[in-house]
Each structure stands twice: as structure tokens, then as C-alpha cells.
Structure 1
Amino acid sequence: MKKIIRENKGFIAFLLMLGVFRTAIADWNPIPSASMHPNLLEGDVVFVNRLAYDLKVPLTDIALSHLGEPQRGDVVTFFSPKDRTRLIKRVAALPGDRVEIRGEHLIINGKTSDYSVLGNTVEHIDQVGDLQALRLQENNASATYSIQVLPQVQARRDFGPVTVPAGSYLMLGDNRDNSADSRYIGFVPRSLLIGRAERILVSADILGNWAPRTERIGMSLRP
């Protein structure tokens, strides 16, 4: 064992440095599902800034210092409070916000978000087939971004009202009717935040012919 370590110490040191880098400074996150359509697609790999909110001890969730505050509209990676699965969603509401959803309309502190129609598309869902999808622009208090709804799907279109606890956040998927978000897993404590997803690093059509989607490389995810 000692011989193996001695002969591969350079590679082992590299792996340790990579582990420190990925758990304390910057990371990347592949997108495996449709929950963030239309903004993130299966096969996108996003750059995650781990220093956007907290400086943490490498390889732990222990925060040494707060470096910034999550904002409504941020796309964030985090560990699910339900089962520690790594997820990516959008911050919809902040600590102290009173939130409800009525018929797809997001209401923050009594103010209903503004919506405008962007267009229609087709969404394929396994074991269901092709469904009509409506794409909207949502203006949520201080942030504007695109979302998608699926009128033909049974979904939780009414939620709350609830008040976001101190130190926690309410996360929603942009694909509102096809996302296991805070409506199902609960509020997300700050300690479970990994970082802010800032842009797409690479992208390939993993559901089709694996062709690179060069037009998506470098796309910003900031609202």
C-alpha cells in the first residue's frame, strides 16, 4: 500500500486538490431532468460558484463566513432537506416572505407576480407522451425569468399561504408542473445550499444523438 501511495503521490495530491476546489470554491453540475425547462435542458453542465453565499470548510457543510445573500431569481444547487439528493432550482422566496401559489400564479407578500406569454412548445414526458407546454415570463418581485407550465398534467397549482422560516428559502423549478421542489420537499435551510449556478459550461443532446449544443455554451443563468 505504501508503495502504491509513493508511486502515485502526484495523482493523489491532484485528486485531493480537486476535491478541495470542488467543495469550497467552484463546482459543476450536470442537469439530469426536465425540472428547469425551458432554461436548463438535460445534458447541460452548469458552473456553480460555491463562494457566492458562504465560505465553507472543504469537504463539509460548515460555514466559516457569509459572503453574500441568496436573491429571488437565483438558480441554486443544494441538497434536498428530504433525502440529501443534489438538486438545482430557482430561489422563489426569501426568509420572512409570505408565499402562496394560486392557479400557477406566484404571490409574494400579497403581490401577484406579473406574467406575459412567450409561446407554446411540446414537452415529452416518459410513459405519458407529448404534451402541450405554455412558456411564460414571470416577474417575481425583483427578478424576471422564463417558466413553463403543462396544463394537461395533474400538478400542485395551489400552495400555501406559508411563511418562509428564518435561514431558509423556498425553491421552485422553472418547469412548474414537472418539478419536485419546495411544494413537496419543504423549505431549504441555508446550510444545505451548495452554490449559485451562473452559466452553462457545455451542453449536449443526451436524449437524442448526443450532438453538442454549441449555442448554449457560456449562456448566463443570472436573472
Structure 2
Amino acid sequence: MQRILKSELFSWIIALTIALILAVGVRAFLFEPFIVEGASMEPTLNNNEKLIVNKVATYTGSVNSQDIIVIDGDEDINYVKRIIGLPGDKVEMDNDKLVVNGEVVDEPYLDEEIEKAHAIDMNYTGDFGPVTVPSHKYFVLGDNRLNSMDSRNGLGFIDEDQVIGVSEYVIMPIKEARKTE
């Protein structure tokens, strides 16, 4: 009887060890949850929403313009921002029109905010640029352009190595669960 208990206990220890290794591996290399802190991505993402971030995209080089990313900042601070310019892109803002490489980029996630700003005779995003994004860097903006520290004013260009991953889904609060875009 004692031999059976030892065998069963050993089986449980092995199973739990494997489960722990898999959980740590998934979190370290594939997907990780993050919490949005602050209002810089409103109206797209709200303070305290929990995201699932795809880390594989950083390993495979499939980070794209318009992706929402989590950035590893200084002193244990992570930032959530939208990629606007990739390495080599020429980026500028002209009267609330985002222009990348001479082409106007549609930003439908800002339509309502831009309309509100224009109703009171102001721009939602101040004009800047053109700026050319250096090699191995990204130009990022928060969606809340009036209240965001980003590549325009404090973060500067983001090094490719600072990107933790691409936001895929909002998972909390459950009633707000959705794919991030």
C-alpha cells in the first residue's frame, strides 16, 4: 500500500512540475497578460483593462504598422502604444492627417475624437514632422493624442528590443472583452 502511495505521489509531482514548466514557458515566450495603466490609449483601450499580448510576433518580425504594442520602459514601467512608423518610414502629422511615406493613413479609431476637436476649432494631434524612423526603431503614438507620452514627447523612437509583444485581446473586464485593433 505504501509503495502505491509513493508511486502516485511521484506521478503527481512529475505532472505538476511539467505543468509549471509549460506555464512558465508559455508566459515567457508566447503570451503574457498586461494591464493598461493610464488614459494614453483611450478611446481604444481604457485604464485597468487586461490584455493578452502575443510575444511570438517580436521573435518572428511580424510587428506591423498600426499594431498596438507593449513597450518595456525604464524602471519596471511598461507602455501601451500604437506603432505609427516602421524603420525607414517618413512620418508626419498635418492638420490631423497622419502621413506615412507620402500617403495619408486612415485612423478610424480616432474619427470621433477628431470630430470633437474640430468642433471646437482645434486639432486632435498637433502637427509634427516629417521625421524619418531610424533602423531597428519604431515611431509610436498613444490614441489619446492630447494626453499621451509617446515618440513625439518623451519616449522618442522605440528600439525593436523594447517591444514585449503585440496586443491581441482585451480579456478583462469580461463585459469589455474584444480583439484589439
> Which position in structure 1 is the counterpart of 2:70?
77
> Which position in structure 2 is the counterpart of 1:43?
48
TM superposition score normalised by structure 2: 0.75
Would you say 1:187 and 2:179 are equivalent positions? no
Deviation at 1:155, TM superposition (A): 8.4
CA contact (8 A) 2:114 2:124 kept: no
> Which position in structure 2 is the counterpart of 1:176?
145
Change (3 A) 1:177 1:83: farther
- Aligned partners of 2:121 and 2:78: how far apart in 1? 28
> Which position in structure 2 is the counterpart of 1:104?
96
Count residues in correspondence: 165
> Which position in structure 1 is the counterpart of 2:171?
201
**Which structure has the bigger radius of gyration?**
2
RMSD: 3.2
What per-residue deviation string (whole Å, max 9, x for no partner) do you get for residues 74-98 of structure 1?
Answer: 1111113x66621111111111100
- Aligned partners of 1:29 and 1:53: how far apart in 2? 16
- Relative to total residues, which structure has the larger strand share, 1 or 2? 1
> Which position in structure 2 is the counterpart of 1:144?
none
Percentage identity across aligned positions?
29
- 5 Å-filtered alignment, 1:86-105, equals 86-105=78-97
What per-residue deviation string (whole Å, max 9, x for no partner) do you get for residues 188-213 of structure 1?
Answer: 1111110110011112xxxxxxxxx6
Would you say 1:22 and 2:14 are equivalent positions? no
- Aligned partners of 2:124 and 2:103: how far apart in 1? 23
Would you say 1:113 and 2:105 are equivalent positions? yes
Q: 1:31 aligns with which of 36, 42, 53?
A: 36
CA contact (8 A) 2:36 2:46 kept: yes
Q: 1:163 aligns with which of 128, 132, 136?
A: 132
Change (3 A) 1:175 1:149: farther
